[in-house]
Structure 1
């Protein structure tokens, strides 16, 4: 028996917002704070009663609650010209159970017969965009003692080759579009013996692939054939323990090759259980899956939904159709990232903040609800929600009960607006691959939580360690500051076959040194204020944190992206600003007195050289710098404006959307060097240049 089926633990009736975390007595040492734990639930571990211990237990828990109910859904293509999609089609928990057993039985048989395998671990790769089969394969690997390895759908060819060889992948599940790439890499990847195509293969294609296999190529079959093999020779799932390795999750480095985070059943189950303490997950709720499953954030969200017997609807893998998918699915849980939520905020502000009665009502509704939120924590209003904000809520389907935000900072003003506009539990948290995306989260209805990432999760304890080179110490007033370190049942212990990075990240006591600088306030909430790395010294000796400055400027609604660059031989910062097309179109229309649409790329590009447009954008950036109290040397003095987005495709972003600083500089080297060639503005004001 799995014990009590419902693993959720409710919040207490009354929350003490002044005591969200507690410092354990006797744990403070010189150069660091004491150990902080959740002030609501304390510290949980694998000995805590009724706790989840392994990933198969998570699935069994969901199956026991929702056996015949919808589990995994997708929108089938109903027309290719034009491309259209139908309503969601679902598989139940029982149906998925049959398929995971078939896949798992077949994979086990292949390893047992020596047709695949031979590495240190029984690793199996998955290279696919989000879809039901991704989850089915992963559930099968969990249940049959194999180690899943995610290949990013947006990962470059070199990284795919590196991971296959580094993780010794003898078997990879993939989709039809990736099949040619894998076949072309096969001769460089000695461990690779079999590819399973998730999509059905035609008989003609199978014939060609058999010929290639006969000439020494890897074997290729489709998932339908694999499942048939498993049904013909069924095996029972393999017993697993919390200490067994279940996943190697590769993190995308900004400068180096990916690092393989080794995660156990206990790590991922502990993180899932922690998310169910004080959870807002509705029983059998519905999640819209669009955050890449190769990243830990999307994965831990789906595990949490499975643990309560919920449903997961996969988007159509087209970002332009994401809102259409939401309106069709009507999800109750919408996990997200600042990049998406900032767009929701900007679109709502543009649509609502207009002249006349409509604009006046919008501004009054925002003002009233924000004031009420900041004084009481209440984000609902009977009249304003119906009259003003129901239209914004309808954009996400009109049924959202919880929105989570992670992966990067989001401005406090934006977070407050999302809370009052969506009128649901909007949660900001903090995590990383190394702790299964689970470290801190804000408490519900906390009036002043925006701008923080909340208190420690129940599975974690946190401490801050001095960073004297950056001026952060545990004795800082009014609040202690330092590098945020975390440990708990959800925390990894090693990078796969990477002793150096392991020693640099995890100390002898099991603390993960995150590289993020945190601050803990008087309520026991944490705030990420800086990054230990990504700092540089300007020619006059001042240190600047480039990523921190980028995050602050990125809160400006006019900006889609900001890249801040410094040269140690120069006394000031320069940068590249990519304006938001919708906002830019509004500025150009006002300045030129001619209506310009956000899709008129030619007109927008020409406008970037208009001094009047430049001055408006620069003025807004200066306001953002002033609002965030940036020192003079921290402010952008000259900028290059561009409509060319930093992206994974052009090599300037990692798959987790972090800037690759060296590559971004090389992409705009001529422009950035040109800005420095102009010299520092003599009047001290910032200057933009096309």
Structure 2
């Protein structure tokens, strides 16, 4: 399940001037729109790329198109059968979009590869997708040292201008040099396959979702009609563009609207990158929204902030100052993706005047399913069906949808495709949900994640986890207990809480808080859902070690595999809070 964002904080005056609904022109796809924009605004800056330190590269539409055309000519010179799959393995950067445009113009199909995968998954993706060429770009040293082991021997590779120092592949700059641009841009039709996006693999082997140009184009117009995005907007691209959501918002939306895209250099420069961009559209994930909040609390304790926000004039100044410090003071649409937002976190941002509205979607429908609308959001709900989307709740509670983003199927996996689609053509989401009177959707759990305790009662872990991660001490939580007498939770503390726990008396203070938290959460749960204990692990869960997906969702199977051997001991201890490896 992928949560996408949507998007808000639009003023009443903006809503009063809602533009006319836009529809794609007959036969035109994202490729046609970016070519139109390059012709319309040749000298307008399209992309801004930090190059280290204070150096920044600004790329105009004409420069963007020229480099892309030259790379398309190189791809054409390889005489690959058309269409062939061509993979891109890089963090977000200007050359990612150039490579994808070159792939489109030369008649081929792009296969994004997450920049934080194991060698095994890299190898599987490249081989399963039958990729004939690989672009290697901006990658951190640790993931790259692992990922390069998965690149098949003899595979043709091209390196971006920014890439690991030990990369010895053909260089982008050398290949385009003074080469001529591609003479004839291939016409792409709406029905053609545009990309294969491999699912993040939170359960089992990644599946290759085939998406057409029509999927990419129609859903982007739906996004435009929700956000009212134009060429005057600014967007900071830093969530993995290998993921469907960022591909949609960080590539397809700019291709069609011509908005200005800024790239982030690294997590350590993130605030600087935000302030350079001054985004008007901004998307993030719960982990980062929580980190932003913790950054504020470091400078101003929550109790003091709440008092100040109750004083009318002071409240206005404090809100303005905090949003400016976060680099979000120009944001008119903001939201969160990848996982549910804790209600307390939503409420906190709303108290600052930033309304975060969630949405819901999957790679299998290119994220286009449900979106909350400005002023119409409801806490705990992910919105109503987007334009052209139908929804229904099956007899077993599963959410099923029809969407303009509906995939063509899974690449080389007809069996999985049939399992995911109903006989009458609806997409099985694998999520359970319910609707309110206004037709807004609430996610109540993941069908495959729901487990039985030894007492025969079902427990849905996600809603319980949500209550724990809303606490500023906790960064990640995994609720389990399959086959045991009661449920439990394994917790990873926030960075600040870890530091405090390492100090004298710190663990005792945190343990008391966690015991109170267990009481509070359990008081609102049915008896069979109550947690017997929480285990605080001194491990780091991240995509690089397989505990998280590339989009920062927990991998339950990996976590259970790691800690299941300890469960019997933990249950027998009868402790409410267990410290592991401290």
- Same fold, TM-score > 0.5, yes or no: yes
Partner SS, residue 510 of structure 2: helix
Q: What are the superposed Cα offsets for residues 76-117 of structure 1, whole Å, 9 maximum, x if unpaired?
A: 22xxxxxxx21532101111011111111211221x2xxxx4
> When the two structures are superposed, what TM-score results if normalisation uses the length of structure 2?
0.88
**8 Å CA contact 2:320, 2:329 repeated in 1:** no
Q: What are the superposed Cα offsets for residues 208-227 of structure 1, whole Å, 9 maximum, x if unpaired?
A: x6xxxxxxxxxx41111222
Of 527-536 and 170-179, the range deviating more from structure 2: 170-179
Specify the alignment match of 1:197 in structure 2.
159
1:530-549 equivalences under 5 Å are: 530-549=445-464
Specify the alignment match of 1:463 in structure 2.
392
Tell me the CA shift for residue 552 of structure 1: 3.0
1:652 paired with 2:547, answer: yes
- Whole-Å separation in 2 of the counterparts to 1:355 and 1:544: 34
Tell me the CA shift for residue 168 of structure 1: 0.8
Specify the alignment match of 2:51 in structure 1.
76
Tell me the CA shift for residue 56 of structure 1: 0.5
- Whole-Å separation in 1 of the counterparts to 2:277 and 2:106: 32
- Whole-Å separation in 2 of the counterparts to 1:350 and 1:284: 34
Pick the aligned partner of 1:615 from 512, 525, 528. 512
1:157 paired with 2:119, answer: yes
Tell me the CA shift for residue 689 of structure 1: 4.5
Specify the alignment match of 2:236 in structure 1.
288
Q: What are the superposed Cα offsets for residues 562-612 of structure 1, whole Å, 9 maximum, x if unpaired?
A: 1222131x2101222222233x37xxxxxxxxxxxx4x67427x743x3x5
- Whole-Å separation in 2 of the counterparts to 1:92 and 1:571: 62
1:661 paired with 2:556, answer: yes
- Whole-Å separation in 1 of the counterparts to 2:27 and 2:554: 36
**8 Å CA contact 1:331, 1:397 repeated in 2:** yes
Tell me the CA shift for residue 556 of structure 1: 2.3
Structure of larger gyration radius:
1
1:442 paired with 2:356, answer: no
- Whole-Å separation in 1 of the counterparts to 2:567 and 2:214: 48
**8 Å CA contact 1:640, 1:672 repeated in 2:** no
User: Which structure 1 segments of 5+ residues have no match?
Assistant: 1-9, 17-39, 78-84, 210-219, 369-381, 468-481, 586-597
- Whole-Å separation in 2 of the counterparts to 1:181 and 1:445: 46
Specify the alignment match of 2:258 in structure 1.
309
- Whole-Å separation in 2 of the counterparts to 1:326 and 1:539: 49
Partner SS, residue 170 of structure 1: strand
- Whole-Å separation in 2 of the counterparts to 1:327 and 1:52: 39
Specify the alignment match of 1:88 in structure 2.
56
Aligned length: 565
Tell me the CA shift for residue 687 of structure 1: 4.3
Tell me the CA shift for residue 73 of structure 1: 1.1
- Whole-Å separation in 1 of the counterparts to 2:354 and 2:327: 12
Q: 1:617 to 1:68 in 2, by over 3 A?
A: same
- Whole-Å separation in 1 of the counterparts to 2:119 and 2:174: 27
1:271 paired with 2:219, answer: yes
- Whole-Å separation in 2 of the counterparts to 1:641 and 1:200: 39
**8 Å CA contact 2:343, 2:470 repeated in 1:** no
- Whole-Å separation in 2 of the counterparts to 1:180 and 1:619: 43
Pick the aligned partner of 1:361 from 302, 308, 324. 308
Q: 1:677 to 1:337 in 2, by over 3 A?
A: same
Which 4+ stretches in 1 moved above 6 angstroms? 10-16, 178-183
**8 Å CA contact 1:87, 1:328 repeated in 2:** no
1:128 paired with 2:90, answer: yes
Tell me the CA shift for residue 509 of structure 1: 3.2
Specify the alignment match of 2:572 in structure 1.
677
Q: What are the superposed Cα offsets for residues 243-267 of structure 1, whole Å, 9 maximum, x if unpaired?
A: 0001000002223111000011000
Tell me the CA shift for residue 522 of structure 1: 0.8
1:109 paired with 2:77, answer: yes
1:401 paired with 2:332, answer: yes
Higher relative contact order (CA 8 A, sep 6+): 2
Q: 1:233 to 1:274 in 2, by over 3 A?
A: closer
Tell me the CA shift for residue 549 of structure 1: 2.5
- Whole-Å separation in 2 of the counterparts to 1:500 and 1:466: 23
**8 Å CA contact 1:280, 1:402 repeated in 2:** no
1:31-46 equivalences under 5 Å are: none
Partner SS, residue 442 of structure 2: strand
Q: What are the superposed Cα offsets for residues 137-168 of structure 1, whole Å, 9 maximum, x if unpaired?
A: 01111222210001110011001101111111
Q: 1:58 to 1:418 in 2, by over 3 A?
A: farther
**8 Å CA contact 1:11, 1:278 repeated in 2:** no
1:409-424 equivalences under 5 Å are: 409-421=340-352, 423-424=353-354
- Whole-Å separation in 1 of the counterparts to 2:522 and 2:275: 37
Tell me the CA shift for residue 13 of structure 1: 9.2
- Whole-Å separation in 2 of the counterparts to 1:398 and 1:614: 37
Q: What are the superposed Cα offsets for residues 329-353 of structure 1, whole Å, 9 maximum, x if unpaired?
A: 2222211111111222343355444
**8 Å CA contact 1:52, 1:269 repeated in 2:** no
Specify the alignment match of 2:359 in structure 1.
429
Specify the alignment match of 2:4 in structure 1.
none
- Whole-Å separation in 2 of the counterparts to 1:689 and 1:601: 10
Pick the aligned partner of 1:603 from 503, 513, 528. 503
- Whole-Å separation in 2 of the counterparts to 1:536 and 1:49: 44
1:100 paired with 2:82, answer: no
Tell me the CA shift for residue 557 of structure 1: 2.4
Partner SS, residue 276 of structure 1: helix
Pick the aligned partner of 2:190 from 242, 248, 259. 242
- Whole-Å separation in 1 of the counterparts to 2:232 and 2:15: 26
1:20-35 equivalences under 5 Å are: none
Specify the alignment match of 1:633 in structure 2.
528
Specify the alignment match of 1:140 in structure 2.
102
- Whole-Å separation in 2 of the counterparts to 1:632 and 1:91: 59
Q: 1:499 to 1:393 in 2, by over 3 A?
A: same
Specify the alignment match of 1:4 in structure 2.
none
Partner SS, residue 96 of structure 2: helix
1:502 paired with 2:406, answer: no
Pick the aligned partner of 1:386 from 317, 320, 329. 317
Specify the alignment match of 1:487 in structure 2.
402
Tell me the CA shift for residue 50 of structure 1: 4.1
Tell me the CA shift for residue 14 of structure 1: 11
Pick the aligned partner of 1:223 from 167, 172, 175. 172
**8 Å CA contact 2:24, 2:218 repeated in 1:** no
Q: 1:12 to 1:614 in 2, by over 3 A?
A: closer
Tell me the CA shift for residue 384 of structure 1: 3.1
> When the two structures are superposed, what TM-score results if normalisation uses the length of structure 1?
0.75
- Whole-Å separation in 2 of the counterparts to 1:320 and 1:404: 22
Aligned-CA RMSD value: 3.2
Q: 1:67 to 1:52 in 2, by over 3 A?
A: farther
Q: What are the superposed Cα offsets for residues 42-98 of structure 1, whole Å, 9 maximum, x if unpaired?
A: 9x9xxx564784120231343355331111111122xxxxxxx21532101111011
Specify the alignment match of 1:329 in structure 2.
277
- Whole-Å separation in 1 of the counterparts to 2:403 and 2:271: 37
Q: 1:450 to 1:497 in 2, by over 3 A?
A: same
